[in-house]
Amino acid sequence: MTRVVILGLAITCAAVPVRAEREPDPAAAVDPCARGTRWRGHPIDLDVKDAGLADVFRFLSDVGRVDVVVADDVAGAVTMRLRHVPWDQVLCTVAAAKQLAVTREGRVYLVRTR
């Protein structure tokens, strides 16, 4: 409590914590593979056999001009032939096929096991 005396008038004030509402953070983590996502990446053709997941995600990082971090426990290989598919849809499709989770903060994609 604070007590202030102004010109003989005593005023007592109690500090009440105010909970400020946060504005949505545009860089907050989002699920780029959520159902109903509109694919924004430019279309690519990709034909690989037994390609390592880390290598595929590195390739998609180059194509999409984004940063991709692949967790250490993500392992395995994938075989696919895709024609004229947006690169971000490829990323989400590979992740779904291997039961992986993808989150995005800004231009950084994190690929990890679920």
Residue 76 has pLDDT above 70, yes or no: yes
Residue 47 lies inside a defined structural domain of this protein:
yes
Provide the domain count of the chain. 1
The answer to whether residue 16 is domain-embedded is no
In a domain, 53, yes or no: yes
58 within some domain: yes
Residue 37 included in any domain = yes
CATH number for the domain including 52? 3.55.50.30
Cα torsion angle, 34, 40, 46, 51, sign? negative
Residue 22 lies in a domain: no
Range of 59's domain? 28-113
For the cut 70, the answer to whether the pLDDT of residue 20 exceeds it is: no
Q: How confident is the model at residue 114 (pLDDT cuts 50, 70, 90)?
A: confident
Across the chain, the runs of DSSP E, i.e. the strands, are 2-6, 9-13, 43-52, 67-70, 77-86, 100-105, 108-113
84-109 tens-digit pLDDT:
999 999 999 999 999 999 999 888 99
Q: Which amino acid is at 95?
A: A
